[in-house]
Amino acid sequence: MLIQREQLQLLQQELQQRLHKLQQDFRQSHSKDGPDQAAERENDEVLQQLETQLAAELYAAEAALDRFDAGRYGLCSRCGQSIAAPRLQALPLTLYCQHCA
């Protein structure tokens, strides 16, 4: 079964929601207690890394939707051959066939 546009949109929406929730967590004020504040700062570093990762995944989802609309979704960006359906099911945002990956 091939990935449908609706599935890509659902993935995009899920990533947007996760990114929004993460950004809300950033806006929470920190404790005034020194040790608690230090732990919260460390947590902020982790949240920042997650935000970067989610933003990259969201960008990839939007690019996949663009490829879908252009009729290029499921074609390897390197060799131009079709990407196998099982690979697209497992990695719907992939740009490459298994041979080129």
Q: Could you read off the pLDDT of 32-86 as tens digits, one per residue?
A: 666 666 666 677 788 889 999 999 999 999 999 999 999 999 999 999 999 999 9
Asked if residue 93 is part of any domain, the answer here is no
For residue 57, what are the domain limits? Answer: 5-73
Q: Check residue 61 and give its pLDDT.
A: 97
Asked if residue 91 is part of any domain, the answer here is no
Asked if residue 63 is part of any domain, the answer here is yes
Asked if residue 21 is part of any domain, the answer here is yes
Which token pair is 44? 């902020």
Asked if residue 34 is part of any domain, the answer here is yes
Asked if residue 98 is part of any domain, the answer here is no
Predicted TM-score (pTM) of this structure: 0.78
Looking at the structure of the chain, the number of domains it has is 1
Sorted by sequence, the CB contacts under 8 Å of residue 75 that are 6+ apart come out as: 67, 81, 82, 83
Asked if residue 54 is part of any domain, the answer here is yes
Question: pLDDT-based confidence at 1, cuts 50/70/90?
Answer: very low
